[in-house]
């Protein structure tokens, strides 16, 4: 990953909570590990050419205290085995008594040609290599959970249209999370972070913008509104011409579901000034 992108640990917007979620999800869904009590450790290697490992954490793995080291790589870097060995020795010097589990997750578009270790005179070193080309994104999409959905962006789309897959991921994510904006923002941050590793960040931004500009009755969140019965108030307000009821429901769309004032104004056939005035009064 270092060859074309910054490590996702280096992104300014990425919080430790986000990285923790990424680590937990990768461990659970990709590595089939049950981890808990995660404590990230200093990963910067004190060498001339400074590099940082993507994820290095002290944690309980299936109830046993170990070091988990995960690298995400999007290019066929022939030096990866040496780098993984250097990471291993540096981590081992810091924690000589703890077992180290190392994983290289390859997400590049080209066929993976990276070796999973080194064999040389008197040296044999191995680490776990996960080629995401062997994992169909459909596996994660079918799990239908927010965590699995965001990880599907790292998988092979198997020739499917990238924009359509991402549109489905974002749409379904909104449906599953509902009106919890804080939680939705957290998962969007993870998607943004992971998408850079597959050079999909521009498509993610394009799709996200497109969904924001969609008529709200066509948006998945509107279906959630309907299911919760809020639409009854909207329909009642529209049918009976009760302005107060209409404006209350406009405010729900703006405050609770984050729709732009101009979009709501257009859909309800009122001016933005009227809505802003009502907002100020309430």
CB neighbour list of residue 264: distance below 8 Å, 6 or more residues apart: 216, 250, 253, 254, 275
CATH 3.40.1350 fits 1-134, yes or no: yes
Kindly state the DSSP code that residue 252 receives in the 8-state scheme. I
Residue 101: HSE in the Cβ half-sphere, 13 Å Cα cutoff: 18
- Whole-structure pTM value: 0.63
Kindly state the DSSP code that residue 28 receives in the 8-state scheme. I
What's the rounded Cα separation, in Å, for the pair 192 and 169?
Answer: 12
Torsion of CA 128, 129, 135, 141, to 10 degrees: 60
Would you give the distance in Å from CA 257 to the centre of its chain? Answer: 21
Q: In what order do the strands lie in the sheet with 35-40?
A: 35-40, 55-61, 64-73, 100-106, 128-131
What's the rounded Cα separation, in Å, for the pair 90 and 88?
Answer: 6
> What is the full per-residue pLDDT of the chain (282 aa) written as tens digits?
444 444 444 433 345 667 778 888 888 889 999 898 888 886 554 443 445 558 899 999 988 999 999 998 888 999 999 999 999 999 999 999 999 999 999 988 788 999 999 998 889 999 999 998 888 888 888 888 998 998 898 888 888 888 899 989 988 888 888 877 778 878 888 888 788 778 888 898 888 888 776 544 444 444 444 444 444 444 444 444 456 666 776 776 676 556 778 777 776 778 888 888 887 876
Q: Where are the domains of the chain?
A: 1-134, 140-212, 216-281
Q: Classify 80 as helix, strand or coil.
A: helix
């Amino acid at each position: 990953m270092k060859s074309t992108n910054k490590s996702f640990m280096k992104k300014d917007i990425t919080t430790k909570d986000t990285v923790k979620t990424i680590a937990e999800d990768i461990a659970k869904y990709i590595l089939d590990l049950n981890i808990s009590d995660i404590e990230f450790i200093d990963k910067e290697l004190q060498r001339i050419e400074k590099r940082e490992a993507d994820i290095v954490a002290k944690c309980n793995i299936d109830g046993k205290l170990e070091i988990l080291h995960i690298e995400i790589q999007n290019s066929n870097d022939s030096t990866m085995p040496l780098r993984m060995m250097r990471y291993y020795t540096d981590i081992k010097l810091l924690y000589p008594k703890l077992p180290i589990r190392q994983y290289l997750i390859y997400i590049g578009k080209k066929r993976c040609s990276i070796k999973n270790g080194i064999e040389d005179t008197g040296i044999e070193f191995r680490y776990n290599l996960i080629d995401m080309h062997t994992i169909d994104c459909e596996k994660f999409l079918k799990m239908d959970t927010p965590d699995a959905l965001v990880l599907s962006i790292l998988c092979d789309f198997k020739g499917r249209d990238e924009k359509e897959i991402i549109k489905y991921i974002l749409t379904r994510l909104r449906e599953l999370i509902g009106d919890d904006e804080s939680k939705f923002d957290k998962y969007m941050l993870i998607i943004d972070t992971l998408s850079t590793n597959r050079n999909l960040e521009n498509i993610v931004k394009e799709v996200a913008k497109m969904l924001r500009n969609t008529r709200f009755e066509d948006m998945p969140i509107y279906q959630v509104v309907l299911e919760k019965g809020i639409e009854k108030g909207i329909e009642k307000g529209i049918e009976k011409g009760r302005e107060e009821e209409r404006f209350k429901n406009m405010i729900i769309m703006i405050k609770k579901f984050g729709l732009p004032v101009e979009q709501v104004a257009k859909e309800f056939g009122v001016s933005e000034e009227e809505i802003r005035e009502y907002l100020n009064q309430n």
